[in-house]
Amino acid sequence: MKRNIAILFAAIGLLALLSVCAAVLLRPTVATIIRNRFERSLSEQFQSRVTFSDFHFSFAPFPRASVTGVTLSYRNRTDIPPLIQVSELSMAVPWRDLFASQLRIRNVKLKGLEITLPPRQNTNYPPRQRQASDLAAKYPVFIDRIETQDATITLLRAQPEKRPLVYQLHRLVLKNVSFSEPAEFDAWLSNAVPRGEIHAQGNFGPWDSDTPRATPVEADYEFRHADLSTINGLAGILSSVGRFGGPLDYLDVQGTTVVPDFTLRRVANPVLLTTKFSATVDGTNGNTYLHSVEAHFLHSVLHTKGEVVDLESNVRGRTINLDTESNDARAEDLIRLAVRTDRPVLRGPVTFEAKIHIPEGNEDLSERLEVSAQFALTQGQFSNPAVQDKVDVLSRKGLGQPQNNEIAHVPSHLTASMHSRKGVIDFTRIRFEVPGAQLNLQGTYTLGNGDLAFNGDLFLDAKLSQTMTGAKSFFLKPIDPFFRGKNGGARIPVKVEGTKDHPVFGMGHEKAAKELSQDAS
């Protein structure tokens, strides 16, 4: 018995010794096999020349490889940075998969990952005939998990003079990575403008080695704590959720946004702004094309489409071109957004169409904003009692009933065409109507201080003498012919000056203007 036990221990010792010897003797061979398979797979999959600074393979406590200085040069090009660079890479290979027909790698950890996608351009390279399934058959590699932190993705522009787009990834996890099927991914990254954090989760791939930018992706995203103050002229904290998909070049995005405190910094009247949108993002340059945006704030709804594009290579920001319309807006809501005031001067339903242009530049958004618009206000009421009183007086005089105090709180109807630039609104046409009177004006309104400078014509249903009573009416009758308007009424040249809070109405004929002003007061 003792002899049998001794023989057993001797056999175990011999096997252990043989295993150690085999590991020592086979280590260089195994390392070379693993390295060659790994290098060929990377080279074929990414259409790149692959180099390592060092490749180290060990058996204990389980087979694993450590690689430093990994560089993949796309199509061996030297005129652009390498497609992929990794300062350190480690991977574990299970014993049973070491020499299997499919190389299965359990876990890969990367440090110092830098991905640089080449610009979109027409090349003379012939299209590849092999499909992903062919690559999977020739280079069968499956990776359970890839993880990296503090990585960067750089998108080179087709125009060399334009700065590349750089995205900082705090953490990236890829699962079930192969040549033939999409991989699952989980990514956390920073967005530069507006500055905020994005979390995306979905499927990526398989990698398109001919055109890396054509690699497909489908994912849900969350964009949190985006600081709109990183855009000159805006303020507020934005959050957004949605989904994006397509090739990296052109991602279709659908989602919603919420900004509890949206405002123009110059105006500083924050409002809750929510949107539902559909857009396409060009991955080659970051340009965004808005197919539809439905925005809600206060009691108004706006519909917008347009683009946010980079046109100037040496100018900060992007050019914004938007077409906006609404059949469900309120004058007080629009004024609250555009004018620094505690109480909007005018209230009522508004319909409008507008073209918005914001060129690139370092100036405040309000200095760059250009708007061309046509709008119509119906059933308007002025919030300032003094202004509304003047409107009521105008209606009484226009109807030829200057002492009829039952004519009060009359609704105002306003249509206009305007162009706004650098904080000054140039009205090319304004038609203001109340019962009995129609005022046609043109002129300017300054957003900053509320200055008014308008001139035009006032048309009344009544004759000029009918706007007064007693002796004043009698002495005005001789000059009625000089102010004859359409349909037997009056036409009076007018001007509007002062400010939005204290407008001053006048007539071109000084004496008549003085009399009308005194009576109105």
pLDDT in tens, 80-139: 889 899 999 888 877 665 655 667 788 889 999 998 888 766 544 344 444 444 544 554
**CA-to-CA distance for 387 and 377, rounded, in angstroms?**
17
Based on its alpha-carbon atoms, the radius of gyration of the chain, rounded to whole angstroms, reads: 37
Beta bridge mates, 279: 253, 290
User: Which spans in 286-384 are helix H?
Assistant: 331-338, 365-368
**CA-to-CA distance for 229 and 196, rounded, in angstroms?**
11
End-to-end CA distance of the chain: 128
Q: Token digits for 264?
A: 């123009």
Q: Which helix (H) or strand (E) holds 223?
A: strand 216-227
Beta bridge mates, 322: 306, 356
Work out the mean pLDDT of the chain and round it to a whole number.
81
pLDDT digits (tens, 9 = 90+) for 396-414: 999 999 999 999 999 999 9
Average pLDDT over residues 490-505: 84
19 has a pLDDT exceeding 50: no
pLDDT at 186: 94
Number of Cβ within 10 Å of residue 121's Cβ equals 8
Q: How far is CA 18 from the centre of its chain?
A: 65
User: Which spans in 306-399 are helix H?
Assistant: 331-338, 365-368, 385-398
**CA-to-CA distance for 485 and 461, rounded, in angstroms?**
8
CA torsion angle 212 41 244 306 (round to 10): 0
CB 332 within 8 A of CB 315: no
Going from the C-alpha of 65 to that of each of 113, 114, 150, 341, 381, the distances in angstroms are 17, 20, 22, 67, 77
CB 393 within 8 A of CB 405: no
